[in-house]
């Protein structure tokens, strides 16, 4: 038995698929003149097969316009370009290198030419050209590229890491579970797994298993068995049945309010990454969207979405919410959410670097497109806007000034928007939590982002499985920052919610209720479990639990105590 860290609940039993991220490296092997013709034939075959493959995928897309369809069409155009074929052949003849290397070099050269162009659209094509180069070279080297967006059968995916964009485009019908070496409970891949309700474990090396082997796993305990015997399969099947029963029980609470035994209500909201996910509000019985992570609509495209495209996305989310509030967070790029066309530089410490509001304030045109789109969507429902990674009052003031500038422009242009649109900030940098009173007079709400608040307070990278045991939202230092933020919010009449993963942890609910948290926002799948916990508790009990927790001196003791109370 192997054990990792369970990050998304659920039991899976099925076949493993070991996924190699698509990095194909040149071999640098020199060939002799007699091999030139063979290598050129190999180039032609790689190009033809890649075209066939892309055409097949295109045919499976149907006729509707979609981001995926656009991307494949662009890739096909590149693969069909005769200039690419000529350049690769030339490399084989002149530099005497093998077909795969020649294709990588040829696509690299063309990509570099595009990168040097003035027009952003052409610069953005460079990433597509390199992607096609990888496909072509893989064909020439005879390496099979597994494409997670098109799987033929249900599998449990094992990988060193899955990027958020790979996770977002995954063929979710066929992914039974995810197992990665890297990542943690709050890495964006784990968060997406929860949203998609796919069991997931991190901290397990992919070489523990070979593709095709049978595997059973538990996304809560992190247990993983390769080639389970019949007794072990029976155990996992029993757990699966219990999991399903429990899920059914809490799902029956859908139409009931999140109210404590003594009648105190709290708001439960959902975190989403794509506009259509807002519909889950009604499926799980939530009060609205507490966090719309808009960066995912930027990640799915080859270039930044225009104001119009964004307006359409936000309006869709608002319509799906059907009158319920939607908190739209402005772009939180960077950290582990890379967006190629934003040219975020390679950094030593990306989570401490050029990220979120820092990028937006540095690129005001990009920021204003988004602000205008959000404002325009506010004419269609209850929209609120939230700035991520605010670390200084000057950043908040500059963001508010840009928002006002956009409002003035829209008024002149005759576009409708909500003049009373509420504005809030994520409280996720310790300096802000510790000095919440500086920020409170300028906003209508706070949303505590425990995922980042923990990593910055504890100096523990949220994506590093090796030090995952040091990362805990129950750390007494973290809890004091949360308490201070909530206390200040109450004092200033600022609404206070939480949208980090802690809010979706049912064991933490009594503590958060006792601290006075007003809104809990989480992946839709967690709503029934948290609601169940809140409905089984009085505020008096919650206050007592909180008092006890605040006297405790370690995250381990607090976790144990709260889980025992569950
Ligand atoms: C957080 O940091 O807690 C949060 C909700 O934001 P994200 O996970 O998107 O960084
Ligand atoms: Mg964050």
Q: Are residues 335 and 380 in the same domain?
A: yes
Q: Are residues 380 and 504 in the same domain?
A: no
CATH number for the domain harbouring residue 10? 3.50.30.10
- Coil, strand, or helix at residue 97? strand
- Site to probe by mutation for ligand 1, drawn from 190, 297, 452 as the one with most ligand atoms within 8 Å of Cβ, is 452
Residue 373, pLDDT > 80, answer yes
**Percent of the chain residues past pLDDT 90, beyond the cut:** 67
Q: What digits encode the pLDDT tens for the residues 457-491?
A: 999 998 887 888 899 999 999 999 999 999 999 99
Partnered with residue 445 across adjacent β-strands are 424, 495
Residue 23, pLDDT > 70, answer no
**Tally of domains within the chain:** 4
Q: Which of 95, 115, 141 is the last residue of a domain?
A: 141
471 belongs to a structural domain: no
Order of strands across the sheet with 200-202?
Answer: 2-3, 223-226, 214-218, 11-19, 155-159, 175-180, 200-202, 5-8
Q: What digits encode the pLDDT tens for the residues 34-50?
A: 999 999 999 999 999 98
Per-residue pLDDT at 58: 78
Q: Are residues 218 and 275 in the same domain?
A: no
Dihedrals phi, psi of 140, to nearest 5 degrees: -65, -35
Residue 189, pLDDT > 80, answer no
Residue 163, pLDDT > 80, answer no
328 belongs to a structural domain: yes
Among 49-53, 287-291, 306-310, 516-520, the range scoring the smallest mean pLDDT is: 49-53
212 belongs to a structural domain: yes
User: How far is the C-alpha of 156 from the C-alpha of 517, rounded, in Å?
Assistant: 37
- Site to probe by mutation for ligand 1, drawn from 186, 189, 272 as the one with most ligand atoms within 8 Å of Cβ, is 186
- What does the buried/exposed string (b/e) look like for 205-244 if buried means 16 or more CB atoms within 10 Å of the residue's CB? ebebbeeeeebbbbbeebbbbbebeeeeeebbeebbeebe
- Residues in the 5 Å CB sphere of ion ligand 2: 428, 449, 452
Dihedrals phi, psi of 482, to nearest 5 degrees: -65, -45
459 belongs to a structural domain: no
**What is the pTM (predicted TM-score) of this model?**
0.76
Q: What digits encode the pLDDT tens for the residues 546-559?
A: 999 999 999 999 99
Residue closest by Cα to atom 3 of ligand 1:
449
Q: Which helix (H) or strand (E) holds 81?
A: none
User: How far is the C-alpha of 374 from the C-alpha of 368, rounded, in Å?
Assistant: 10
Q: For residue 360, how far is its CA from the centre of ligand 1 (angstroms)?
A: 17
Q: What digits encode the pLDDT tens for the residues 402-459?
A: 999 999 999 999 999 999 999 999 999 999 999 999 999 999 999 999 999 999 999 9
Q: Which of 141, 175, 206 is the last residue of a domain?
A: 141
Q: What digits encode the pLDDT tens for the residues 239-278?
A: 999 999 988 888 888 889 999 999 999 999 999 998 999 9
Residue closest by Cα to atom 8 of ligand 1:
451
């Amino acid at each position: 038995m192997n054990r990792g860290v369970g990050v998304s609940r659920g039991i899976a039993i099925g076949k493993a698929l070991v996924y190699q991220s698509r990095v194909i490296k040149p071999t640098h092997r020199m060939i002799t003149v007699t091999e030139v013709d063979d290598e050129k034939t190999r180039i032609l075959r790689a190009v033809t097969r890649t075209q066939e493959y892309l055409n097949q995928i295109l045919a499976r897309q149907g006729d509707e316009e979609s981001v995926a369809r656009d991307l494949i069409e662009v890739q096909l155009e590149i693969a069909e370009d005769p200039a690419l074929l000529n350049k690769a052949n030339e490399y084989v003849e002149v530099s005497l290198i093998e077909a795969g290397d020649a294709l990588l070099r040829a696509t690299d050269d063309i990509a570099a030419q595009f990168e040097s162009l003035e027009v952003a659209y052409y610069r953005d094509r460079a990433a597509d050209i390199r992607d096609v180069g990888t496909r072509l070279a893989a064909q020439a080297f005879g390496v099979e590229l597994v494409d997670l967006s098109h799987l033929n059968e249900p599998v449990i995916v094992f990988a060193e890491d899955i990027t958020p964009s790979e996770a977002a485009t995954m063929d979710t019908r066929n992914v039974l579970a995810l197992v990665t070496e890297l990542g943690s409970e709050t890495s964006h891949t784990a968060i997406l797994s929860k949203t998609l309700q796919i069991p997931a474990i991190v901290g397990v090396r992919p070489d523990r298993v070979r593709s095709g082997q049978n595997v059973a796993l538990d996304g809560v305990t992190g247990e993983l068995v390769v080639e389970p015997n019949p007794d072990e399969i029976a155990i996992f099947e029993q757990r699966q049945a219990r999991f399903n029963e429990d899920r059914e029980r809490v799902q029956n609470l859908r139409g009931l309010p999140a109210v404590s035994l003594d009648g105190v209500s709290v708001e439960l909201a959902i975190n989403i990454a794509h506009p259509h996910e807002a519909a889950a509000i009604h499926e799980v019985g939530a009060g609205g969207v507490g966090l719309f992570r808009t960066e995912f609509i930027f990640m799915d495209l080859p270039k930044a979405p225009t104001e119009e495209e964004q307006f359409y996305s936000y309006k869709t989310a608002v319509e799906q919410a059907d009158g319920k509030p939607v908190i739209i967070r402005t772009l939180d790029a960077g950290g582990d959410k890379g967006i190629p066309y934003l040219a975020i530089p390679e950094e030593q410490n990306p989570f401490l670097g050029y990220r979120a509001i820092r990028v937006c304030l540095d690129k005001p045109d990009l920021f204003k497109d988004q602000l205008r789109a959000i404002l325009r969507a506010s004419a269609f429902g209850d929209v609120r806007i939230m700035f991520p990674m605010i670390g200084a009052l000057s950043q908040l003031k500059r963001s508010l000034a840009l928002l006002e500038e956009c409002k003035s422009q829209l008024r002149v242009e005759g576009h409708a928007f909500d003049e009373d649109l509420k504005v809030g900030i994520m409280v996720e940098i310790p300096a802000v939590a510790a000095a919440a009173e500086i920020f409170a007079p300028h906003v209508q709400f706070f949303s505590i982002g425990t995922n980042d608040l923990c990593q910055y307070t504890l100096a523990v990278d949220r994506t590093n499985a090796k030090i995952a045991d040091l990362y805990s939202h129950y750390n007494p230092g973290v809890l004091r920052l949360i308490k201070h933020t909530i206390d200040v919010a109450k004092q200033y009449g600022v609404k206070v919610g939480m949208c980090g993963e802690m809010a979706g942890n049912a064991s933490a609910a009594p503590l958060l209720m006792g601290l006075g948290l007003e809104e809990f926002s989480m992946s839709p799948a967690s709503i029934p479990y948290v609601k169940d916990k809140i409905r089984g508790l009085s505020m008096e009990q919650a206050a007592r639990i909180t008092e006890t927790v605040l006297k405790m001196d370690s995250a381990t003791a607090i976790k144990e105590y709260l889980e025992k109370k569950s």
